[in-house]
Amino acid sequence: MAPGILALVGGAEWQEGCTFDGDLLAASGGADVLVLPTAAAYEHPDRAVETARAWFAGLGGTVRPLNVLTRGDAMDEGSAATVRDARFVYLSGGSPLHLRSVLKETPVWDALVAAWEDGAVVAGSSAGAMALCDPMVDPRGGALTVGLGLVENLAVVPHAEEDVAAHHRRTLELAGDDLVVAAVAERTALLRDPDGGWRVAGAGGVTVLLGGRDVGLDALPG
């Protein structure tokens, strides 16, 4: 079976302009969205859930929160079973480093991968988008570090409204000529379809860079 749609969102999730969310909900085949506010564990995760709930209610969807906020939570087999059964899993923004440290090599992460490979829709915004890839951009200075690796050989720079080359010079230098960097604007999704093709939806744009040059979506890993 082909994997589900993957959405790498540039931030400002669950707001006007995120037109892709309705399509993702439809593609999931249901009305439930499982929201993991893991990255927002120290930034009022309940507020993230309420924002998601209000947004998806307007799209005919129902949000179910799963408070996987610590590594102990991610080791829980019951939480893993909930993720495995979900058809639409959404990782909120917040801290990509915390998100990675909580989920990496845990039953909940294994369940998310299995659900996606079985056709579930998976979305991550800002920190979520960063951590789903490997390598991951370290927000403390732009270096590259280990990510969760749902997508490999791709690094995501979110909130990319500014000149990427000027504001993310260190990341691009470290990426060199071999690593693709996707700079994704807020309220914008870089979408990977089940056939491995990529497209852009939402209010802004995406710049795909290789060796510091804009190379377009065709350069993204399949």
Question: Residue 122 has what pLDDT?
Answer: 99
Question: Residue 165 has what pLDDT?
Answer: 66
pLDDT tens string 88-126: 999 999 999 999 999 999 999 999 999 999 999 999 999
Inside any domain, residue 97: yes
Q: How many CA atoms lie within 13 A of 30 on its CB side?
A: 14
Q: Say if CB 97 and CB 103 are below 8 A apart.
A: no
Containing structural domain, residue 47: 6-219
- Dihedral over Cα of 49, 50, 54, 55: its sign: negative
- How high is the mean pLDDT of the chain? 96
The tally of domains found in the chain comes to: 1
Question: Residue 162 has what pLDDT?
Answer: 74
Please give the span between the terminal C-alpha atoms of the chain, in angstroms, as a whole number.
16
Inside any domain, residue 1: no
Question: Residue 1 has what pLDDT?
Answer: 79
Rounded distance, CA 142 to CA 15, Å? 27
- CATH code for position 35: 3.40.50.880
Inside any domain, residue 63: yes
- For residue 149, is pLDDT > 80? yes
Of residues 120 and 165, the one with the higher pLDDT is: 120
- What are the C-alpha distances in Å from 28 to residues 24, 71, 149? 6, 27, 22
Question: Residue 168 has what pLDDT?
Answer: 82
* Of the listed ranges 16-25, 159-168, 178-187, 196-205, the one predicted with least confidence: 159-168
Question: Residue 161 has what pLDDT?
Answer: 81
pLDDT tens string 9-66: 999 999 999 999 999 999 999 999 999 999 999 999 999 999 999 999 999 999 999 9
Question: Residue 144 has what pLDDT?
Answer: 97
Q: Say if CB 200 and CB 194 are below 8 A apart.
A: no
- β pairing state of 32-36 and 88-91: parallel
Percent of the chain past pLDDT 90, that is, above it, reads 95
Q: With bands split at pLDDT 50, 70 and 90, how would you rate the model's confidence at 169?
A: confident
**DSSP per residue, 35-88:** EE-GGGTTS-HHHHHHHHHHHHHTTT-EEEE----SHHHHT-HHHHHHHHH-SE
Question: Residue 77 has what pLDDT?
Answer: 98
